[in-house]
């Protein structure tokens, strides 16, 4: 164990974790001299590469001199915090990466708290020191304050600091004396992170912290051997969370070397390995010696905070673009996602065509939707809804988010007013050289749809980060979307002539030539009520001509909604229709008369209550 180190890399989103791992791989000699090197090698899925974020925690291992360093790259976004929590069980230390300009952010606090709770040994990496206006020494002071604020021990507060530029592949212990490579970081890991002290002689104990899935091998568990030795072909006992014991056989055993999994015959305590052949193994379950089955403490997984209803697509365009459109296919795919995403919940509803899906946030659920549409699935999804709780006195509680917003000074008043209307409480304001940092505590439901509103209110200059704080008593009603929508009156192909006549009523979401159907939302109304419009009307031909009458109409640029923007925009009586090629908004009731009848009934019930 003297030559083994297990570390996790943790940070706020976009502070450079994955780029840092890239350089560790490069400079440790993982790649051949003539090998093509991929940027952000650990972000293996298309979605991760396109969005520049890490969604799932991933393992790698590098050889430095005589040391094998197991590295786990963790997500930085709050919606994937469940991945971070589980990784802490696998490692002995962490690299806390902090941007030299942005400093400590909400997720920095979240991941550091998890590491300190597990008594892990930290190394602080101040990254992006080459960035304009970088302030590395001030950021170190911020990090120190954060450690003290979170109740770190004296040993943890005495952390080493490495100043790095991951993109340039340089690291140094003295910001005034740059180094040409990552050698100072490697040396800090070897000297600071303790070697595993697990008992290799006792009976086997191994716990799954990450799940993977293979069509050939089934479910694969990844975790650390806490005690004993595990061998290929060994008979073991899986200790289920409900107390049951399941006897299984290890059919495949893998270690990690660079970006590859390598087959092993045996592995001992302290090593991080992947194991296949253990049936329906799930995160937190213990795999133990068949003659001495002793369970490890279960790994707590935070409950979902947001839910949506996934519904079979029943619009007039259903089945035109997707290959998987039935209720059976949709249900099977959603439950299959549970094989590897333990933060997700899927429930059947009274309707065989609708399923309740709960996740950690909007991004968590939108990633699932985007993944499914790329696989050929069609579906409709409802407006995201916050999950409430009840305390012991049956009092209603709701999730509160810690929000940090950076905006130019001239927009501070606007942001405070907008979040005040969403029940947000300002807790701190910090005046910077180029922007002002505002910190709020806001109900999670108050943030649904706020990101696009923030960009509009600040002309694109506002940035927002948030993370779950805790549950508090219900804060009262929050007003929904202020504007109504433009709803298509009939099916057909939209025309420039019709769109030009509708433009003065609001902002369009479609371009000329788009296929529409009655009940489909084609734009945002400038007033607070919904308006039915005809965007398929064609210009009638006549023999009358004038010098200016037939000039080509100059249309305003439409607002094309991304998947996340569409989900944020939804109202309670609307669906987002998602297909492999198109994202549309629609009313749940496509018929105008049925909508009006439902609205009258709703108004009557409000009066009665």
Residue for token digits 């696989």? 375
Of the candidates 515, 21, 61, the residue with the CA atom closest to the CA atom of residue 270: 61
Say how many C-beta atoms besides its own lie within 10 A of residue 453's C-beta: 17
Average pLDDT by stretches of 10, the chain with 609 residues: 80 80 77 42 44 52 86 65 70 91 82 84 91 89 90 88 89 86 89 86 86 78 88 87 82 82 87 85 84 81 83 92 91 85 86 91 84 92 90 88 85 87 87 80 85 79 78 84 86 89 88 91 88 86 53 73 86 91 91 82 63
Is 86 found in the same domain as 28?
Answer: yes
Final residue belonging to a domain, choices 192, 221, 246: 192
Is 110 found in the same domain as 35?
Answer: yes
How far are the Cα atoms of 59, 244, 399 from residue 601, in angstroms, in the given order? 55, 51, 31
Is 545 found in the same domain as 407?
Answer: no
Of the candidates 576, 584, 579, 514, the residue with the CA atom closest to the CA atom of residue 319: 579
State the Cα–Cα distance between residues 292 and 306, nearest whole angstrom: 41
Is residue 16 marked as binding?
yes
Is 140 found in the same domain as 248?
Answer: no
Is 492 found in the same domain as 395?
Answer: no
The tokens for 183 are: 């050698």
Of the candidates 471, 473, 470, the residue with the CA atom closest to the CA atom of residue 113: 470
Is 147 found in the same domain as 54?
Answer: yes
Contact between 486 and 525 (Cβ < 8 Å): yes
The tokens for 512 are: 């000329």
The tokens for 357 are: 């899906």
Is residue 17 marked as binding?
yes
* Residue 300 pLDDT: 66
Residue 509: CA count within 13 A, CB half-sphere: 23
Contact between 382 and 315 (Cβ < 8 Å): no
The tokens for 298 are: 């279960």
Q: Are strands 252-257 and 260-263 parallel, antiparallel or unpaired?
A: antiparallel
Contact between 459 and 420 (Cβ < 8 Å): no
Is residue 15 marked as binding?
yes
* Beta-bridge mates of residue 268: 229
Say how many C-beta atoms besides its own lie within 10 A of residue 250's C-beta: 19
- DSSP H helical ranges for 64-135: 81-87, 106-117
Burial of 543: CB neighbours in 10 Å, binned 0-12, 13-18, 19+: exposed
State the Cα–Cα distance between residues 41 and 277, nearest whole angstrom: 28
The tokens for 299 are: 């790994």
CATH number where 173 lies: 3.40.50.300
Is 170 found in the same domain as 43?
Answer: yes
The tokens for 47 are: 């979605």
* Residue 82 pLDDT: 58
Instruction: Indicate whether 248 belongs to any domain.
Output: yes
Is 448 found in the same domain as 413?
Answer: yes
Instruction: Indicate whether 325 belongs to any domain.
Output: no
In sequence order, what are the residues at sequence separation of 6 or more whose Cβ sits closer than 8 angstroms to the Cβ of residue 103? 135, 138, 139, 142, 143
330 SS3 class? helix
Instruction: Indicate whether 213 belongs to any domain.
Output: yes
Final residue belonging to a domain, choices 289, 315, 335: 289
- Sign (positive or negative) of CA dihedral 471, 475, 480, 482: negative
Is residue 477 marked as binding?
no
> How open is the CA angle 8-11-12, to the nearest 5 degrees?
155
Buried b (16+ CB within 10 A) or exposed e, 251-289: ebbbbbebbebeebeebbbbbbbbbbbbeebbbbbbbbb
Instruction: Indicate whether 256 belongs to any domain.
Output: yes
Of the candidates 141, 59, 49, the residue with the CA atom closest to the CA atom of residue 104: 141
In what helix (H) or strand (E) does residue 442 lie, and over which residues does it extend?
strand 436-443
Q: Per residue, what are the HEC states of 214-269?
A: ECCCEEEEEEEEEECEEECCCEEEEECCCCCEEEEECCEEEEEEECEEEECCEEEC
CATH number where 506 lies: 2.40.50.250
Instruction: Indicate whether 123 belongs to any domain.
Output: yes
Contact between 106 and 19 (Cβ < 8 Å): no
Is 176 found in the same domain as 47?
Answer: yes
Is 213 found in the same domain as 185?
Answer: no
Instruction: Indicate whether 428 belongs to any domain.
Output: yes
* Residue 308 pLDDT: 92
Final residue belonging to a domain, choices 407, 442, 473: 473
Contact between 353 and 294 (Cβ < 8 Å): no
State the Cα–Cα distance between residues 211 and 221, nearest whole angstrom: 5
Is residue 62 marked as binding?
no
Is residue 19 marked as binding?
yes
Of the candidates 182, 85, 86, the residue with the CA atom closest to the CA atom of residue 125: 182
Instruction: Indicate whether 579 belongs to any domain.
Output: no
State the Cα–Cα distance between residues 147 and 104, nearest whole angstrom: 11
Of the candidates 337, 253, 261, 263, the residue with the CA atom closest to the CA atom of residue 287: 253
CATH number where 275 lies: 2.40.30.10
* Residue 550 pLDDT: 45
Of the candidates 474, 465, 218, 468, the residue with the CA atom closest to the CA atom of residue 343: 468
In sequence order, what are the residues at sequence separation of 6 or more whose Cβ sits closer than 8 angstroms to the Cβ of residue 532? 487, 488, 489, 592
State the residue range of the domain holding 489. 484-560
Of the candidates 30, 80, 48, the residue with the CA atom closest to the CA atom of residue 256: 30
The tokens for 244 are: 């049951």
State the Cα–Cα distance between residues 404 and 440, nearest whole angstrom: 7
* Residue 359 pLDDT: 86
* Residue 3 pLDDT: 84
Q: How many domains does the chain have?
A: 4
Burial of 190: CB neighbours in 10 Å, binned 0-12, 13-18, 19+: middle
CATH number where 450 lies: 3.30.70.240
Instruction: Indicate whether 91 belongs to any domain.
Output: yes
Is 188 found in the same domain as 209?
Answer: no
Is 150 found in the same domain as 30?
Answer: yes
């Amino acid at each position: 164990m003297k030559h083994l180190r297990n570390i996790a890399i943790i940070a706020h989103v976009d502070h450079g974790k994955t780029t840092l791992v890239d350089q560790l791989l490069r400079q440790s000699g993982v790649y051949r001299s003539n090998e093509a090197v991929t940027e952000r090698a650990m972000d293996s899925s298309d979605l991760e590469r396109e969005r520049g974020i890490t969604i799932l925690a991933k393992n790698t291992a590098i050889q430095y001199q005589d040391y094998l360093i197991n590295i786990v790259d963790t997500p930085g976004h709050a919606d994937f915090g469940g991945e971070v929590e589980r990784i802490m069980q696998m490692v002995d230390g962490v690299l806390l990466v902090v941007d030299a300009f942005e400093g400590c952010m909400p997720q920095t606090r979240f991941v550091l708290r998890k590491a300190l709770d597990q008594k892990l040994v930290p190394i602080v990496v101040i990254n992006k020191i080459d960035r304009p206006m970088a302030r590395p020494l001030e950021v170190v002071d911020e990090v120190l304050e954060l450690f003290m604020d979170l109740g770190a021990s004296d040993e943890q507060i005495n952390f080493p600091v490495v100043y790095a530029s991951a993109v340039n592949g340089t690291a140094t212990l003295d910001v005034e004396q740059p180094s040409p490579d990552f050698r100072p970081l490697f040396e800090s890991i070897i000297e600071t992170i303790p070697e595993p002290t697990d008992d290799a002689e006792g009976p086997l104990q191994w716990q799954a912290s990450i799940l993977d899935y293979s069509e050939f091998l089934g479910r694969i568990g990844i975790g650390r051997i806490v005690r004993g030795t595990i061998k290929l072909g060994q008979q073991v006992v899986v200790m289920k969370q409900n107390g049951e014991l399941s006897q299984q056989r290890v059919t495949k055993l893998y270690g990690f070397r660079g970006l590859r999994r390598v087959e092993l015959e045996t592995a001992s305590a302290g090593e991080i390995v992947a194991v296949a052949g253990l049936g329906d193994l799930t995160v937190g379950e213990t795999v133990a010696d068949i003659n001495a089955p002793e369970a490890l403490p279960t790994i707590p997984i935070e409950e979902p905070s947001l839910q949506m209803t996934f519904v079979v697509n029943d619009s007039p365009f259903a089945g035109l673009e997707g290959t998987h459109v039935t209720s059976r296919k949709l249900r099977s795919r959603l439950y299959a996602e549970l094989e590897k995403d333990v933060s997700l919940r899927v429930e059947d509803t009274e309707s065989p065509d609708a399923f309740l899906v709960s996740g950690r946030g909007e991004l968590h659920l939108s990633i699932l939707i985007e993944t499914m549409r790329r696989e050929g699935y069609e579906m409709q999804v409802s407006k995201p809804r916050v999950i409430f709780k009840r305390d012991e006195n049956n009092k209603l509680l709701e999730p509160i988010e810690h929000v940090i917003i950076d905006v130019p000074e001239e927009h501070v008043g606007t942001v405070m007013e907008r979040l005040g209307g969403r029940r947000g409480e300002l807790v701190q304001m910090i005046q910077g050289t180029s922007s002002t940092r505002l910190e709020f505590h806001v109900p999670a439901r108050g943030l649904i749809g706020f990101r696009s509103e923030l960009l509009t209110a600040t002309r694109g200059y506002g940035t927002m980060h948030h993370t779950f704080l805790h549950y508090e008593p219900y804060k009262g009603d929050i007003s929904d979307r202020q504007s109504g929508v433009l709803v298509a009156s009939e099916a057909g192909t939209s025309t420039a002539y019709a769109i030009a006549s509708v433009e003065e009523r609001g902002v369009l979401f479609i371009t000329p030539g788009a296929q529409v159907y009655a009940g489909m939302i084609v734009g945002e109304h400038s007033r607070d009520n919904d308006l039915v419009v005809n965007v398929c009307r064609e210009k009638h031909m006549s023999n009358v001509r004038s010098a200016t009458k037939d000039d080509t109409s100059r249309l305003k640029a439409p607002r094309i909604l991304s998947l996340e923007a569409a989900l944020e925009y939804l109202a309670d009586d609307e669906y987002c229709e998602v297909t492999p090629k198109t994202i549309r908004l629609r009313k749940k009731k496509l018929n105008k008369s049925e909508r009006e009848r439902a609205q009258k009934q709703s108004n009557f019930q409000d009066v009665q209550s």
